Structure formats: structure tokens, C-alpha cells
């Protein structure tokens, strides 16, 4: 993404808080980018940023506009599942652009990559910068979108990744928010991980629900043939009720996937934490589950 690029901003799920939107807009403008707000971004309909038709209209307008270089989602929340059936995937495929978001935007990223055949990006949204600017988030975003090869994504001191099962693997990168990956099971947008590296993140789930979703994901067959697993910070995971579940998130992960004999890392900075790496969905990466330096390497630029 070059200096001076025009970035279209859409809110296909929950509505953004105006004050946070304004601050974040200033962060990108100070970096030399021009931000173009979607026509309907100020709409509110209960928890949604307007009706699904209006949210889909903004997305399609950004893809159709030849002067828009990238599309950045304002925030997640809930509601992208009602937008997906309204999109014109032939038009999107004919106008490939950088598309960035996470959380509820998981369904949009994976569906566009699957149906339109280009890389999307799981990374910080506009309101990530609504209250503070974390240098790691900006630097990693620009590094991954710069067009350069040989990008290595390390975890910062504020969010040190952990190696659960060492090894090295290469494959297409798929994944996102666990709840949304579960929501796509049995649909045209289900992720299939054969030969792939899969990353998973979530927030504010009960530990038994986390265990249940991982078991469901594995039982569904969508992880058959997976080559490696990357888990995010998994913030605010907690017991439900008075009786402890008895396992940490790392222990649950290894209980469900430890027999796969694939590289596994956890607490990687992708998702809802303060540090948010930008990851190229449907692009080839290398997972280095190194006990001393768990990391992802992107051999070739995902935007070249």
C-alpha cells in the first residue's frame, strides 16, 4: 500500500463510535493516506451499522470505485453473515483490492478469498486506533502491505508467543475468529485446511465453550490435513459457574490437537489484544514453531 493511497472505510457489522472513528482517521491521514468514508457509515439500526442492504452497498461501492486502493473495515461486532448473500462476487473478483478486518469480519475475509480468488487480510480495523496508537500494529500493517518479499512477523514483548509443539510448516494461511469459523461450518464459506496453516483467535468465551468449539471444528473434518496451528491471545477466557474447568487454554489446545504432530504456537498477536499483526488470508506462509522465537514468515508479497 503506497504513500497517498486512498483507503475506503466501511462498517459491515456494528456501528463505529464517532469519536473513535475521528481519532483513527487522523492516525492514517498523518501517515499520508486519504480516507474515504462509506456513504452509509453513520447509519445505526440497533446493533448494526444500518440494514444489511446499506452495509453491502458500501462494500460494493468501494470495490467498484477504481480510485480506491484498499478497503478497511471500521469495526467488527456482529452482522456480516447478513451481508454476505447480498454481495456481487463477480464484480469483487474483477476488482481485487486490499481488504482488512478481523473478528466478525472473518466471514467476509474467508468468503471473498474463497469465491473471488485473491488474498484478504486479517488485521487491525480503524477503531483499533480509536483510543491509542500501538506502533507494532501500524508497523506490521505497513510491512505486510508494502509489496516487499521476505516479511517475518515476530511477537512483540507485550505479547510473547508460546511454542506448544515445535516444528516448521508451510502452507496457505486460513483462519480467524473461532466463533465465526464455527458459524461458517456447513456453508459454502466453510474453511478447508488440507495442506494449510490455520490461525484461530477469540475473546470472552467460557473455557468449556472453547473446548467444545475446538472439538466441533476437528470433528467437522475441516481441519483434516492441517499442517500447522497458530492461536491468538485468547483473552478473557474464563470458567462458567462455581466449578473450575481444570485446564488452561494451552492445555485445552494440546488436549484436542496434540496428537496431530504438527507445529503449534499460542498467544500470537492476532485478534482482540492490544497488539494485532496483519496476516494474509489464503496466502502461502511459513510457521516457525521455535521455542525461542515463534514466528510467521511470508516468503512472497501478498500484494505484489
Provide the annotated active-site residues.
Answer: 103, 201, 272
3-state secondary structure of 115: helix
Give the residue among 81, 73, 60, 78 at the shortest CA–CA distance from 101: 73
What CATH number belongs to 6-133?
3.40.50.10740
Question: What is the pLDDT, as a whole number, of residue 36?
Answer: 96
Asked if the 151-298 domain carries CATH number 3.40.50.620, the reply is: no
Report how far residue 41's alpha carbon sits from residue 173's, in angstroms, rounded to the nearest whole number.
30
- Element (DSSP H or E) covering residue 279: strand 279-281
- Please report, for the chain, the start and end positions of each structural domain, with discontinuous segments joined by +: 6-133, 151-298
Written as tens digits, the pLDDT of the chain (304 aa) is 677 799 999 999 999 999 999 999 999 999 999 999 999 998 999 999 999 999 999 999 999 999 999 999 999 999 999 999 999 999 999 999 999 999 999 999 999 999 999 999 999 999 899 899 999 999 999 999 999 999 999 999 999 999 999 999 999 999 999 999 999 999 888 998 999 999 999 999 999 999 999 999 999 999 999 999 999 999 999 998 788 999 999 999 999 999 999 999 999 999 899 999 999 999 999 999 999 999 999 999 999 7
Same fold, 6-133 and 151-298: no
205-261: per-residue pLDDT in tens? Answer: 999 999 999 999 999 999 999 999 999 999 999 998 788 999 999 999 999 999 999
Amino acid at each position: 500500500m503506497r504513500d497517498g493511497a486512498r483507503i475506503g472505510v466501511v462498517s459491515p457489522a456494528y456501528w463505529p463510535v464517532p469519536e473513535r472513528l475521528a481519532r483513527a482517521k487522523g492516525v492514517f491521514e498523518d501517515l499520508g493516506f486519504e480516507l474515504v468514508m462509506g456513504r452509509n457509515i453513520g447509519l445505526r439500526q440497533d446493533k448494526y451499522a444500518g440494514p444489511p442492504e446499506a452495509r453491502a452497498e458500501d462494500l460494493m461501492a468501494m470495490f467498484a470505485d477504481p480510485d480506491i486502493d484498499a478497503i478497511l473495515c471500521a469495526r467488527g461486532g456482529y452482522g456480516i453473515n447478513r451481508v454476505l448473500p447480498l454481495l456481487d462476487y463477480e464484480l469483487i473478483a474483477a476488482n481485487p483490492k486490499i481488504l482488512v478486518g478481523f473478528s466478525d469480519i472473518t466471514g467476509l475475509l474467508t468468503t471473498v478469498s474463497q469465491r473471488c480468488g485473491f488474498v484478504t487480510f486479517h488485521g487491525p480495523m480503524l477503531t483499533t486506533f480509536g483510543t491509542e496508537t500501538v506502533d507494532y500494529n501500524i508497523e506490521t500493517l505497513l510491512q505486510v502491505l508494502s509489496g516487499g518479499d521476505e516479511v517475518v512477523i515476530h511477537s512483540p514483548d507485550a505479547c510473547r508467543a508460546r511454542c506448544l509443539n515445535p516444528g516448521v510448516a508451510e502452507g496457505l494461511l486460513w483462519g480467524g475468529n473461532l466463533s465465526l469459523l464455527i458459524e461458517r461450518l456447513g456453508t459454502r464459506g466453510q474453511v478447508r485446511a488440507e495442506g494449510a496453516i490455520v490461525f484461530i483467535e477469540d475473546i470472552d468465551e467460557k473455557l468449556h465453550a472453547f473446548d467444545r468449539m475446538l472439538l466441533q471444528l476437528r470433528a467437522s473434518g475441516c481441519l483434516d490435513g492441517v499442517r500447522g496451528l497458530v492461536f491468538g491471545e485468547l483473552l478473557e477466557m474464563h470458567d462458567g459457574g462455581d466449578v473450575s474447568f481444570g485446564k488452561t487454554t494451552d492445555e485445552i489446545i494440546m488436549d484436542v490437537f496434540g496428537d496431530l504432530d504438527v507445529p503449534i504456537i499460542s498467544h500470537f498477536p492476532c485478534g482482540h489484544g492490544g497488539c494485532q499483526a496483519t496476516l494474509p488470508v489464503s496466502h502461502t506462509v511459513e510457521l516457525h514453531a521455535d521455542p525461542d522465537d515463534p514466528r510467521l514468515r511470508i516468503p512472497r508479497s501478498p500484494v505484489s
